Chain A
Amino acid sequence: MMNLDLRLPIGLMFTIDGVLLIGFGLVSDPAIYARSLGANVNLWWGLVLLAFGVGMLVPSIRPGRRQPKSEG
């Protein structure tokens, strides 16, 4: 009965958040990163979110695949 593969919305949301953070990291004023010890954390963590999001998304949209089955 469960026809929604949960990896789809999760993957989609983190992909969007990742892209948003990367984009913001590229254009934001470097001065705001003083508090994060000088690291552009938006850019780096955005990449992490993007990788996670894509990792969830890809298997969920490959044809013929459903959520990992459990045997029952």
Chain B
Amino acid sequence: MPGGKGTEVQMGLREGKPAGAPGPAALALAPRAAEHTRALADHPSRALFSGKTDVRLIQLGAIDYTILLVYFAFVIGIGWTLRRYVRSSEDFFLSGRSIPSWIAGLAFLSANLGAQEVIGMAASGAKYGMMTSHFYWVGAIPAMVFVGIFMMPFYYGSRARSVPEYLRLRFDEKTRGLNAITFAVMTVFSSGISMYALAKLLELVLGWNFHTSVILSAIIVLAYIFLGGLTSAIYNEVLQFFLIVLGFLPLVLLGLKDLGGWSGLSAKLVPVATSAGYPPGAWSESWRNLGSASANPMGVEWFGMVMGLGFVLSFGYWCTDFLVIQRAMAAESMTAARRTPIFAAIPKMLFPFLVIVPGMIAIALHTSRGGLLPVGSDGTPNYNLAVPVLLAHYLPSGLLGLGLTALMASFMSGMAGNVTAFNTVWTYDIYQSYIRPGQTDRHYLRMGHASTVFGIACSVAAAYATTRFNNIMDMLQLVFAFVNAPLFATFLLGMFWRRTTGHGAFFGLLIGTTAAALHHGLTLPRGAVPGLKGAFLGQVLNVYPSEMAQNFWTAIVAWTACFVGTIVISLLTRRNKTDAELGGLVYSLTPRQKDDQLVWYRRPSALAVVALCLTVVLNIIFW
């Protein structure tokens, strides 16, 4: 998952992942609403958990622990049952390409539904209100539909085993190496950072020992991936998906009942908005206040939102991140692979009600009934605690255990997503390609097991490093955000323009990354000091109203630079792949997918239309 700690910037970038998508690695963290993520992440030690370790919001009873233990037993049991189906490296890394699309679709959702998404999106809901839904309704859904319809034919059809491998087939070795290495490093850090954030949160609200939380969660995730590989991770992600939905739903229902439904909630959010100097509907409307950056708490206007978040960040995350793409690649057929992200889009569009509305409920209660959320020394509420505070506020022992188990489930599914993506990229794209090529499949299967242990060990190390070197982590995240921002331009050109060359792709990426760093280094969000938040080059060319706006624009600049740079360099260099070599990898050289013989509700294109129409309706309802 996205790690929690991104700096805002990165978050932004990463956030890109739009809703939730946590990103893959780089993006990973930020996918979600940037801020929260960031929040969680970035100040794990500061804002979120500002020092008070004795808050102990929640007291658990025997029933709560029982529910938690039942969950642990089932996740490990699933891995244990699946262990005998793992006979080859394809079984371990790709589930033998045999997963039905409904399972792959729910795993697709769950893998990026880390604890940061749950905690972070609620924090954003409290901080920015209903506008946070753009991470879903402008960001994630259109991107998921796009990847299913237009990109999956190349990913699945090329028989590449990973996203970096696709890059090798389409471009060349250096482009693959660049992507594989940055991705592998970032997934490990992301999962470590999110482990850190969860352990800190449990320490804060439950009084659990930090080390115990880290070790326990690491061992459980290790056990079920080690035993059953990707299949086990995917099966558990589906279980975790249902647990997350059924665990958090009572919270939302009770909160809405308490406040008098949506209209009661909106009414209580009016004072939140007006007291901060925004129009009365700023917290309960998603589009109406996007006319100018000063009319909404996010500090962005519609263009930056649609282009930065929607187009660059969301498409960049959902369409290129191997963490999510891997789930669709494991599907049993081309049609199933194309349906995977589209199936996922339908529940995904309802997630704002599960993860954003709790934050809105929390801030409404905080303002109207006084002091629900702990307030920091600077007078701002601690938004990251919205979910734990609400759990403690509404749920009695019993359901409380279920809610807490849901939180653990979201964390583990996200961590497992990172680890399975890491071990695949490590084994196929780094180890098999550069270190020990030409070994038996058995050898690579053993490496898969070893790299699972290694990946988790590195995550634990990163979690501890985070406790000591916050700034280094922030910096790393920033660098990864720069690396990821331009990626979507490369894929777009690679898939739809056969003239794109390997040199064009590689240097275009470097240009995009440099442009992101320059933009970030020359601009600053209002009120920030130069440094990690921007302007580290000593000059301030532009001051953005918010970090979110700065992040969105960094992404736009990076994407544009990469897009233009790749085109120019491609035109100046010789093609390194013939049309024959590009068959199945580029749109114009690949036979169209035909799915006319299927009933309409099994056809990816029909499902895509349904998903997009529903999204438009949601945007209009909550305009």
Contact = CB atoms under 8 A, between A and B. Distances in A.
Contacts of A28: 396-398
B403 to A, nearest CB: 10
A11 B288 CA distance: 43
Interface stretch (B12-20, B238-246, B441-449): B238-246
Interface string B474-507: 0000000000000000000000000000000000
B402 A21 contact: yes
B333 interface: yes
Nearest to B64: A24
B336 A17 contact: no
Interface string A34-72: 011101011001101100100000000000000111111
A35 B239 contact: no
B172 interface: no
B258 interface: yes
A41 B70 contact: no
A9 B250 contact: no
A28 B95 CA distance: 44
Contact of B396 (A4, A36, A72): A36
A28 B394 CA distance: 16
A10 B238 contact: yes
Interface string B387-398: 000000111111
A71 to B, nearest CB: 6
Nearest to A32: B396
Nearest to A21: B398
B489 to A, nearest CB: 33
Interface stretch (B75-83, B180-188, B546-554): B75-83
Contacts of A35: 393-396
A16 B71 CA distance: 10
Q: How large is the interface on A (under 10, 10 to 19, 20 to 34, 35 or more residues)?
A: 35 or more
B294 interface: no
Contacts of B602: 70-71
Given A36-B394, A36-B399, A72-B333, A1 B239 contact: no
Q: How large is the interface on B (under 10, 10 to 19, 20 to 34, 35 or more residues)?
A: 35 or more
Interface in B42-98: 63, 66-67, 70-71, 74, 77-78, 81-82, 85, 91, 95-96, 98
Interface in B526-574: none
Nearest to A31: B396
- Give the residue among A12, A35, A36 with the most B Cβ atoms within 10 A: A36
Given A35-B395, A71-B598, A14 B242 contact: yes
Interface string A1-27: 111101001101110110011001100
- Give the residue among A13, A46, A52 with the most B Cβ atoms within 10 A: A13
A32 B335 CA distance: 50
Given A37-B258, A45-B402, A72-B336, 5 more contacts: A4-B81, A13-B71, A20-B398, A36-B395, A37-B394
Interface of B: 63, 66-67, 70-71, 74, 77-78, 81-82, 85, 91, 95-96, 98-103, 231, 235, 238-239, 242, 246, 250, 254, 257-258, 332-333, 335-336, 339, 393-399, 402, 598, 602
Interface of A: 1-4, 6, 9-10, 12-14, 16-17, 20-21, 24-25, 28, 32-33, 35-37, 39, 41-42, 45-46, 48-49, 52, 67-72
Chain A to chain B: the 4 pairs with minimum beta-carbon distance, closest first: A72-B333, A42-B398, A32-B396, A13-B74
